Amino acid sequence: MTGQERAPLLEALNRFKDMRIVPFDVPGHKRGRGNPELREFLGEKCLTVDVNSMKPLDNLCHPSSVIRDAEELAADAFGAHHAFFMVNGTTSAVQSMVMSACKKGEKIIMPRNVHRSAISALILCGAVPVYVNPGIDRRLGISLGMSLGDVKRAIEENPDAKAVFVNNPTYYGICSDLKSIVKLAHEHNMLVLADEAHGAHFYFGEGLPVSAMAAGADLAAVSMHKSGGSLTQSSLLLTGPAVDESYVDQIINLTQTTSASYLLMSSLDVSRRYLALRGVETFRRVIAMAEYLRAEINRIGGYYAFSRELINGESVFDFDVTKLSVHTLDIGLAGIEVYDLLRDEYDIQIELGDIGNILAYISMGDRSLDAERLVAALSEIKRRYERDKSGLLTQEYIRPQVVERPQKAFYAEKEPVPVEQSAGRISGESVMCYPPGIPVIAPGERITPEIVEYILYADEKGAMLTGMRDASLKTIQVLKEG
């Protein structure tokens, strides 16, 4: 990599600070002077670079100087043809790549266990999903990746599809055979889009699954703020050489803010430089910590911290060993119950708890002392709270019954019905536990008794259910009949 020691946007912001410019522009806090409470909370250093787009600092809507230079360095570091800085989160990056690939009525092949942002993209642009049901690990109750055979079948049955969408990896670290999917899709003139919300480290670590750009994907949405170390809400949208980046730029500007945060953009610039120069050694430590924690948690007994032993060459083609996913049902506790106990009783905040598992996100900022604290807490939770596991739900992924395309269902006439009485009706909204934000039901899908049971059970266990118009979670919006 050439020039990766530079951070053009950071350098420009430092020059700007030295100029002592009098601000008669926005933001209105005027470098923090207008809001002492905000300055005290965030600090003067932070607020002096919370500035507006101006000539010396470039403009994210049409980069031509320092932002352009920073994006070029990011593209080089990630092995992409072009990199777009995204400040509306990876949600915006996912939506932009779907809308860049598909127009209204065009098909896109995707796994059903996509993030809500992908379903929202279908609602926004009117594309039609061709769902490939992921594999399921029935013991763990989690969805896996797409097998190459299932993708091949979907392509052959839908030769007019415009793109194939792949999770790389899933929240739990599961990877599909991305290289082979790319080869197959390109042979049928389809683009490949990768949701790499949880895969920024693939570009810099050793012994990790293949990154989207290395596999030849056309577009990839990368959450730098997750494993990449930048500020929350900052992300990258990477493109390959076959993509018209000027068109992607137009799509991005349909929804991305015209008041891009320089705090977010500079964090992308600084984090890219850090990963390019120190990423290999950084993620070597992350992997070592995750492997240590996995071994220690499995030594407790009752828990199952799973890893590469799940690889089967099909629905689990590879596994991201930085993901510390732990199955909890064998100690008689749902994952969300262990999640709550860790936070409420031990002051430990993990990433998620679902019906059967927890996920602790291991990254560059974790310390050995904190790792030991997590192991000790899990051991004590088992000792204090272990019970018989009968009566616990085990199934996380429920195969959907698609009746109507998402956009049409979302904008159709709807009415609220009690969740308990909704089986058989067509959903007009999404319902999901967040995190991970994967809809258990999406607009246009038939609500089944299993889905009703899942929603009621998740609510009872204390999961954070989102997507429903009714904040009390008592009713769900369904399409009007007749």
Written as one string, the DSSP assignment of 329-371 is GGGT--HHHHHHHHHHHH----SEE-SSEEEEE--TT--HHHH
The two most distant CA atoms of the chain are separated, in Å, by: 68
Query: Which residues are CB-neighbours of 254 under 8 A, at least 6 positions away?
Result: 99
State residue 317's pLDDT score.
Answer: 98
Query: What pLDDT score was predicted for residue 396?
Result: 67
Predicted confidence at residue 395, as pLDDT, reads 67
d(C-alpha 393, C-alpha 355), whole Å: 7
What pLDDT score does 19 carry? Answer: 87
Tokens at 36, concatenated: 């002492």
> Distances from the Cα of 229 to the Cαs of 206, 263, 360, in angstroms?
18, 13, 16
Give tens-digit pLDDT for 1-11.
478 999 999 99
Give me the phi and psi of 108, to 5 degrees please: -135, 130
Alpha-helical regions (H) of 188-261: 212-215, 245-255
pLDDT for the residue 377: 98
Question: Do residues 457 and 141 make contact, with C-beta atoms less than 8 angstroms apart?
Answer: no
Which stretches of the chain drop beneath a pLDDT of 70? 1, 395-396
Measuring CA to CA, which residue among 76, 56, 60, 54 is closest to residue 11? 56
Cis peptide before 8 (omega within 30 of 0): no
Residue type, 245: E
Question: Cβ(192)–Cβ(182) under 8 Å?
Answer: yes
Q: Which domains does the chain have, with CATH numbers?
A: 60-276 (3.40.640.10), 277-385 (3.90.1150.10), 406-479 (3.90.100.10)
pTM above 0.75, yes or no: yes
What's residue 191's pLDDT?
98
- Looking at residue 235, its pLDDT comes to 98
Strand order in the sheet with 431-433: 438-441, 431-433, 465-466
Alpha carbon of residue 103 to chain centroid: 23
The token pair at 418 is: 């009690």
Q: What is the pLDDT of residue 250?
A: 98
Q: Determine the pLDDT at residue 289.
A: 98
Q: Are 443 and 376 in contact (CB under 8 A)?
A: no
Q: Return the amino acid letter for 174.
A: I
